Chains A and B, each alone.
Chain A
Amino acid sequence: MSQTSFKKIAEEKIQPKDFSFDRDNMLLAKKILKIYPKNFKESSIMPLLSIAQNQNNGWLPKKAIEYVSDFLEIPEIKVLEIATFYSMYNLSPVGKFHVEVCTTSPCMLRGSDEILSFCEKKLAIQEGGISKDKMFSLSRVECLGACVNAPIIKINKNYYEDLDLNSTDKLINNLLNDKKIKIGSQSGRKGSEPRKSSYDKKR
């Protein structure tokens, strides 16, 4: 698997000229900094990066990386290392809804490949791409850690589980029409409770 385009540093022309935490985020960042010992400031690098990403519509510009490195007084490369290592950080713009389809073994066995290609068709974008209206971006990710409810899609902060093609279609339509959508399992089961099995009938 090669790197998706969201892991590549965005082109110069779309990079913002400046970045700094707004007031709320600054307070939050200072609060996070307090958790760690003074001489291990760099331990707070991951929460700070996600604050920065949230503030900047889901992606990290160069200026944000430099800002965080200044904030923690560590070399920029140390921040870039973290930002490129984890798939949760994006280094180029993503859509308003960033759709991440899990394709690791359990999800794959439950049909995640079909869901991915369905999403590509439905949203008319390639994996790693962003739609023209900047509403959707699509990416293939490794295990999201909810295998019991496979297959899973992560959209922004939430998981949508137990998907099939119908429920995926419904999910995307609801997003497009700005309708309320249910977070979690789409098949009606509660959490990851067992499916009704032959064992239940016998009892």
Chain B
Amino acid sequence: MVQIFIDEKAYDVEDGITVIQACESAGVEIPRFCYHEKLSIAGNCRMCLVEMENSNKPVASCAMPVAEGMKIKTNSEMVVKARKGVMEFLLINHPLDCPICDQGGECDLQDQAMAYGSGISRFVEQKRAVKDKNLGPLIKTHMTRCIHCTRCVRFSEEIAGNNTQLGAIGRGEDTEITTYLEEAMDFEMSGNVIDLCPVGALTSKPYEFVARPWELKKTETIDVFDAVGSSIRIDSKSDKILRVLPRINEEINDEWISDKTRFAYDGINNQRIDRYYLRNSEGKLAEESEENILKIIHNSLSNTKASQVAALVGNTLDCESIFSFKKFLDELKIDNYDCRQDDSFFLPFQRFSYIFNSTIKGIDDSDLCVLVGTDIKKEAPILSSRIRQKFLSSPKTYKIFSVGNFNLNFVVDYLGGNPSSLKKLSENKNSDVFKKSKKPIFILGQGAMCHDDAADIFNYCLNFYQKISKNIDWNGFNVLQTFSGRVGALDLGFYNKKNISRSLIKQIYDGKFEVLYLMSADEINFEKIPKKTFVIYHGHHGDKAVKRADLIIPMSCFTEKEGIYVNLEGRPQISSQVKFPIDGVNHSWTFLNKLSKLFNLSLYSDHNDLREKMFLNHEHLSYINQIQLSKINKNKQSKFKFSNQEMKSNISNFYMTDSVSRNSKIMSDCSLAFLKETNVT
């Protein structure tokens, strides 16, 4: 700790921080443009100038480390004059087009010009103009507004780290921010530069000229497009979602979100199922009343043997829906149900086998990383950038191995693509690395867990991990889930306990079941379902499933209800309701309630009742935002067989992974723009 004086008051601050951080902790506001807590220090905007005793020039507080006895003045005459001067220079080439700028109302430059600027400019010469850059379907540029803070450049280099990066070409007045030859910014986290830009140079293309920030209703909630469960804020105006912004959450997403989280929102209103449909004798879907639908389902379920009914839940469902559905099925003694449309492997009743045990924050403490069958950059961009930051902080010592040939944004030792390359981990040349490591993390992706040899891969990795880990307090054996509803569903036990083998999907294709009830499950191959199976689809979007379904039930989607989601760490979080459901559309549990009435089953009086019943059986879900740590269980298997089949990620198109993002226009634009080589589905 060192003692410094800010505006003649003494403060004890941590050693090694900068003056701007000290001022922040003391509650003194310093204006800034280029400085950002999560990025490296550039010191090029000069807005954070303060007066320091014994220095005859003002100093840039963002780049000045604190020292014992330092005396800082933040509102002296010199500082006020310096800020006015810097502001005047910054505005020399700035167009002052606030009324037509999308940043207006939430612009750092606008706010700080009001607070610290002099009000008039003495500049009468020609202003500089810069050609706008086309950076793809997500980011709109207006480069004349750029003040060259280089936050976006540092972000793309330090956090995102893709091949296509931003840079500043030219020098002096001719400096321009661009990508190499104006390539589109195709990395998975590119949208964050919109938030970072302190002016209106980089703004959101889909949000172009849509609304002003003060018109928007802001709802704090969590993201469900991947399993990370990023904290987000949804801005809406009269029931329409207009944009999604990240919220700061140090434990999960820092203050970044992926492009899918940010831009897939427009899919929510497209292709919604808002009525009941039944396939008639001609094979066409026709509208039907709720009463009739309830009767038909009642008939078909009561006339079919319980063993002839199968049920699947979707990947982005909340715990309440899954729990109420499971209870309904259990009471009808139907036990052929599962949440794994991809046949992902896990060990029943052993929670460690399907969650991210080290926690996301644990990545920062780790000293070695082994990726097995995971294209982590596409499956969880937030985690990938955390690993990148860890890697950049100690590039010489932090080693990363990858089994599986994926393009990642950090330097990786590729061991090979098929499971047998796992054996290379125990080669002699690597033994030193593993011996030295105190906190290793293993990340098993769905590429490994959905592989035919998943059990062998899992157990081999577990064996190897247990062999090298010495620290009992450290659990770095992680499974990376890719869907927001998966951990919750597995926690709730939505899988067949009698028949754990991964064969339910195959049995469905083989025609073993007469009735198939899909609750927003649309990732299976519908063409393979035999014609005689009666398919009930209970979901919110008209996606692949609708083509095959014989009966369709509408459902509220995740922005229309409050729900508990468990993220990949096993952390229960509550998503909030942004708007009311479409007219005549029920929540999933209300519809099941109506159905249960016909069967004379137990009912829920309201949402709270449902939650309480759920908490009674699954207490850990009631500890919102808390992670229940789990211990690794010993594994007995010692002989392993590996095939030569390559491990592939379960996500081929990052932009389209569920029914909402598949219906999003922005996401389809991205797929077309960025995925030319790969097949766009």
Contacts and interface: CB of A to CB of B under 8 A. Distances in A.
Q: Do chains A and B stick together as partners?
A: yes
Q: Give the interface size bracket for A toward B.
A: 10 to 19
Contacts of A2: 174
B170 interface: yes
6 contacts: A7-B174, A75-B167, A76-B181, A77-B179, A80-B169, A84-B169
B65 interface: no
A39 B166 CA distance: 22
Interface string B379-404: 00000000000000001100000000
Contact of B180 (A3, A39, A75, A85): A75
B174 A81 contact: no
Given A39-B395, A39-B396, A75 B163 contact: yes
Interface in A80-100: 80-81, 84-85
A75 B187 CA distance: 13
B413 to A, nearest CB: 14
Interface in A60-83: 62, 75-78, 80-81
B165 A77 contact: yes
A21 to B, nearest CB: 20
Interface string A1-34: 0110001010000000000000000000000000
Contact of A80 (B163, B164, B167): B167
A81 B164 CA distance: 14
B396 A81 contact: no
A78 B561 CA distance: 47
A81 B395 contact: no
B181 A81 contact: no
Nearest to A62: B181
Contacts of B396: 39
A3 B174 contact: yes
Contacts of A76: 180-181
Contacts of A81: 167-169
B639 interface: no
Contacts of B174: 2-3, 7
Interface of A: 2-3, 7, 9, 39, 62, 75-78, 80-81, 84-85
A78 B167 CA distance: 7
Interface of B: 163-171, 174, 178-181, 395-396
B570 to A, nearest CB: 36
Contact of B171 (A75, A77, A85): A85
Residue among B163, B180, B396 facing the most chain A CB atoms (10 A cut-off): B180
B381 to A, nearest CB: 18
A81 B178 CA distance: 10
A115 B163 CA distance: 46
Nearest to B396: A39
Contacts of B171: 84-85
Given A77-B169, A77-B179, A81-B169, 17 more contacts: A9-B181, A39-B395, A75-B164, A75-B165, A75-B167, A76-B180, A76-B181, A77-B164, A77-B165, A77-B166, A77-B167, A77-B178, A77-B180, A80-B167, A81-B167, A81-B168, A85-B170
Q: Which 8 A-B pairs have the closest CB atoms?
A: A77-B167, A76-B180, A84-B169, A77-B180, A75-B165, A81-B167, A85-B171, A84-B170
A6 to B, nearest CB: 13
Contacts of A77: 164-167, 169, 178-180
Contacts of B167: 75, 77-78, 80-81
A104 to B, nearest CB: 14
Contacts of A80: 167, 169, 180
Nearest to A87: B171
Contacts of A78: 165, 167
Contacts of B166: 77
A68 to B, nearest CB: 12
A66 to B, nearest CB: 9
A75 B165 CA distance: 7
Nearest to B163: A75
Contacts of B180: 75-77, 80
A114 to B, nearest CB: 26
A24 B167 CA distance: 32
A7 B167 CA distance: 16
Contact of B170 (A7, A39, A62, A75): A7
A160 B169 CA distance: 30
A39 B399 CA distance: 13
B284 to A, nearest CB: 53
A171 B166 CA distance: 44
Task: Pick from A3, A75, A80 the residue with the most CB of B within 10 Å.
Answer: A75
A9 B163 CA distance: 21
A85 B167 CA distance: 12
Contacts of B395: 39
A132 B169 CA distance: 29
Contacts of A62: 181
Contacts of A9: 181
Nearest to A7: B170
Nearest to A78: B167
Nearest to B161: A75
Contacts of A3: 170, 174
Nearest to B164: A75
A89 to B, nearest CB: 12
A85 B395 CA distance: 28
Contacts of B163: 75
Contacts of A75: 163-165, 167, 180
A2 B166 CA distance: 23
Contacts of B164: 75, 77
B438 to A, nearest CB: 23
A115 to B, nearest CB: 24
Nearest to B172: A1
A3 B174 CA distance: 7
A84 B181 CA distance: 13
Contacts of B169: 77, 80-81, 84-85
A39 B410 CA distance: 13
Contacts of B179: 77
Contacts of A85: 169-171
A7 B174 CA distance: 11
A3 B169 CA distance: 12
A78 B161 CA distance: 12
A142 to B, nearest CB: 10
B64 to A, nearest CB: 26
A81 to B, nearest CB: 5
